[in-house]
Copies of this chain bind each other. A is one copy, B any other.
Amino acid sequence: MLASVYYGPHDVRVENVADPQIQEPTDVVVKITHAAICGSDLWFYRGITRPEPGTHTGHELMGIVEEVGREVRSIKKGDRVIAPFFISDGTCDFCRAGLYTSCRHRQSWGIGGNDAGQGEAARVPLADGTLVVVPAEVGDDQQLLKSLLPLTDVMGTGHHCAVCAGVKEGSTVAIIGDGAVGLCGVLAARRLGAARIILFSHHEDRAAIGRAFGATDIVTEQGEEAVNKIMAMSDGGIPHVMECVGSQATFDTAINIARPGGTVGFVGVPAEQPTIGLSRMFGSNIAMRGGVAPVRAYIPELMADILAGKIDPAPVLTMTVNMSGIPDGYSAMDRRTAIKVMVRPLQRAAINTKSGQSGK
């Protein structure tokens, strides 16, 4: 099959790799129908993190189950499934508490011999604990399937940030980050009942999606200017701040705009090792709660609302590519010409034809 493979900064290639096979009785094999490129994939694409060359890329996938290991209980051949960005057993104490990302047997896509998301198919370890089955009535409705794809990561991550920030009915919220996670955070905050949603964005196309998702105010300033603007707007700061970037500057801003007694929810990957000083947190009793989102826990409730038409995160997917377009997808996200890229691997026959056409 074809899969996307990392070789180095700005060097992601689509190559023929071994087809997935059941290895453990708890595995299934999924034919991937939809995948995505994540903002966090840019950390290795930009050389900030350095995976092993040869690592398969991608951790957001949906597909149809093709083969089922003999100990799998809840998944059957032909099911359409959503896979979150971590593999988890679903049975350990952390999973039972909803913290799937701290599963005692967690595995990562593309690591330790695992297949990854940006490919034609994948072996899914610990299938019962990892996968969520999409109701059969969704069928092949491509519009709905596109809406469900963000459940693999960004919609659940934005929701986790809102939950960690304590957003509830009537809340005033500030969201730092206008990437797919920040925008899904707007949707999540509105879904939880936030009355005022202030989105930090200095890209008009992203701000427009943010407004459509429920943002009531857009702040285009950054750094100290943004802090001053928020203080002028808010009479003491924002009680619920959502950090959806992960950089030193955005963590600092998040803490500095929080209202005394407020909470900063954080889900931006701190790949550049930011640190936070404790003086303001201490002096103003500002809490921080967040981390790598246990999106598996949130898929059922969020999927129900997507299928009911209450929320629709699909607009964050602004570009679609097939397998051979994956490198272009990375490049577009790196240059910020796409917010988030959907990958629709072709049927194998079609891929083979295309490979043949390109002379490979």
> Which residues of chain B are near A266, meaning CB under 8 Å?
278, 282
Query: How many subunits of this chain does the assembly comprise?
Result: 2
CB proximity of A207 to chain B, nearest CB, Å: 27
B275 touches A276 (CB 8 A): yes
A251 touches B278 (CB 8 A): yes
| Separation of A251 and B318 alpha carbons in the complex (Å) | 42
CB proximity of A235 to chain B, nearest CB, Å: 9
Known: A94-B260, A94-B261, A260-B94. A282 touches B291 (CB 8 A): yes
Of A96-104, A182-190, A324-332, which stretch is located at the interface? A96-104
Main secondary structure of the interface of A (DSSP, over half): mixed
Interface size of A by CB at 8 A reads 35
| Separation of A285 and B261 alpha carbons in the complex (Å) | 20
Q: Return the chain B residue nearest A160 by Cβ.
A: B285
| Separation of A270 and B277 alpha carbons in the complex (Å) | 9
Q: Does A288 contact B (CB under 8 A)?
A: yes
Contact flags A284-319 to B (C-beta < 8 A → 1, else 0): 111111111010000000000000000000000000
> Which residues of chain B are near A282, meaning CB under 8 Å?
266, 269-270, 290-292
B275 touches A102 (CB 8 A): no
Q: Return the chain B residue nearest A235 by Cβ.
A: B93
B288 touches A281 (CB 8 A): yes
| Separation of A173 and B291 alpha carbons in the complex (Å) | 21
> Which residues of chain B are near A197, meaning CB under 8 Å?
none
CB proximity of A257 to chain B, nearest CB, Å: 15
A:259-280 near B, CB below 8 Å: 260-261, 263, 266, 269-270, 273-279
Q: Return the chain B residue nearest A284 by Cβ.
A: B102
> Which residues of chain B are near A276, meaning CB under 8 Å?
275-276, 278
